[in-house]
Amino acid sequence: MSKLFTKKPLSQLLNEAGADGHGTLKRTLTAWSLVALGIGAIIGAGLFVRTAAAAGGHAGNAVTISFMLAALGCAFAGLCYAEFAAMIPIAGSAYTYAYATLGEIMAWIIGWALVLEYALGAATVSIAWSEYLNKLLGGAIPYEWCHSPFEVSPDGVAGMMNLPALLILGLLTALLIKGTQESAFVNAIIVFVKVAIVLIFIAIGWSYVNPANHTPYFIPEGTPGHDSFFDWGWGGVLRGAGIVFFAFIGFDAVSTAAQEAKNPSRDMPIGILGSLVVCTILYVLFAHVLTGVAPHADFIDPVKGKEASVAYAISTYMTGYGWLATAVTVAILAGFSSVILVMLMGQSRVFYSMSKDGLLPKVFADLHPKFSTPYKSNIILLVFVGLFAGFVPGSVAGDLTSIGTLLAFVIVCIGIMVMRKSDPDVPRPFRTPLVPLVPILGIVVCGAMIISLDINTQMIALGWMLVGLVIYFTYSRKHSKLTA
């Protein structure tokens, strides 16, 4: 049993971090590349889709507070991530940190949970990308070639394969294989486009905000259709935070690129915390304008809410700005693209670290002889994610992705407290302030958001973890370089 909690020596991790040359990832990313990488991963489906879902169903106008609460949980975890990333600049993110502080079994659990965030998240977003592309093209793509075999149109046309989803996955995988620096450059262009459109919506929409729409700010108790404690008042704000938390998923993906940062001790904290601050400000302003332009009750209607929420608000309450609705669709496509890019990158880096430790087959750690990227891992992931995106309906809830991320955040916060006790003298270029208060608050806030999510999501996540444990005990434990 003690082998399950064998820790990877910190000295070994630091030696790996200092390694350079053939067989290692190239250090090509600057602090601003990492900030752009974080913004690229964060601003996507969550901002445009989850804002209306949280406002209409649970938080009302106080969805702005939901964003602040979710950001607070991310900030506490982000401060802990920043210390780890600066101290142990190794690919693998929370998986690596758990291995150094809590032992192999906890590292495996986190590595497996991150598959929910990265791989399944990329598949789900690629399906949404396909839907929005067809919407932008006016439905020009035949139904059977943009839907899975399990879907049938109202006219009785059966889907065959989601080709646009496979196309975007293939293009972004090729870009990742070509190199991290090239991927970061393309991501920076995408970030510029979508942030510009978000700012334009905020600037123009501000003059259309109706103060009456922001009264009352919280959904009152007894409001029809809001019967649960988590559907009104502060309970609704908490449930809203759990929902819009999906909009923050991705900032932790910056830490998976620690081994490719030029100066990780300085650049990683800037990349993690900088991207989080920028996106939080944009999110709160966006939510304030959206719920001010259109009453939050409108978004309960599935036709007016969720995916269609921003376009609905513009076309209904901002006459003369039809072009902005189209621009928002372009921003959504750009946002989806960068999210998929960073999710695929993050997943391949986690698998790279797990493979180097023997917990996954060696193929996941093989680097391209010219580009020094884990190309075989990228190709295998393309097949796995592509099968899901091309042949399965896009019904995986964002809440499931959120649980995997929130669990990782909790483990990282615990890891900081453990590391401060076990290795107090290790140089820390960035130190999480107010330990243990900040990690404890991170655990409390993230744990509360996990509890606020629905029971079905929690049970599916539990089933996923049980499958992961079966793989660990049948393969990984026997091949581990530390415990075999």
Q: Locate tokens 């965030």: which residue?
A: 117
Question: What domains does the chain contain, in order, with CATH numbers?
Answer: 2-479 (1.20.1740.10)
Query: Cβ atoms within 10 A of the Cβ of 364, count?
Result: 21
- How much is the pLDDT for 329? 80
For 277, the token pair is 């601050």
CA 447 → CA 74, 137, 233, 242, distances in Å?
12, 42, 20, 10
Q: Which amino acid is at 94?
A: A
d(C-alpha 427, C-alpha 140), whole Å: 58
Query: Cβ atoms within 10 A of the Cβ of 23, count?
Result: 11
For 245, the token pair is 């938390």
d(C-alpha 250, C-alpha 402), whole Å: 10
Q: Name the burial class of residue 229, with classes exposed (0-12), middle (13-18) and buried (19+) by CB atoms within 10 angstroms of its CB.
A: middle
Window from 80-94, 185-199, 269-283 with minimum mean pLDDT: 80-94
| The pLDDT of residue 278 is above 50 | yes
For 112, the token pair is 């497996």
pTM listed for this prediction: 0.74
Read off the pLDDT of each residue in 64-89 and give the average, rounded to a whole number: 85
Q: Which amino acid is at 126?
A: S
Instruction: Render pLDDT for 403-418 as a digit per residue (tens, 0 to 9).
Output: 777 888 888 899 899 8
CA 422 → CA 3, 5, 105, 445, distances in Å?
18, 14, 18, 25
- How much is the pLDDT for 397? 46
CA 33 → CA 184, 189, 348, 375, distances in Å?
6, 11, 19, 21
> Which of 30-39, 99-108, 230-239 is modeled with the greatest confidence?
99-108
CA 256 → CA 268, 291, 311, 437, distances in Å?
10, 35, 34, 25
Residues of the chain with pLDDT > 90, as a percent, come to 15
- For residue 146, the SS3 value is strand
- For residue 211, the SS3 value is helix
CB–CB of 310/328 below 8 Å? yes
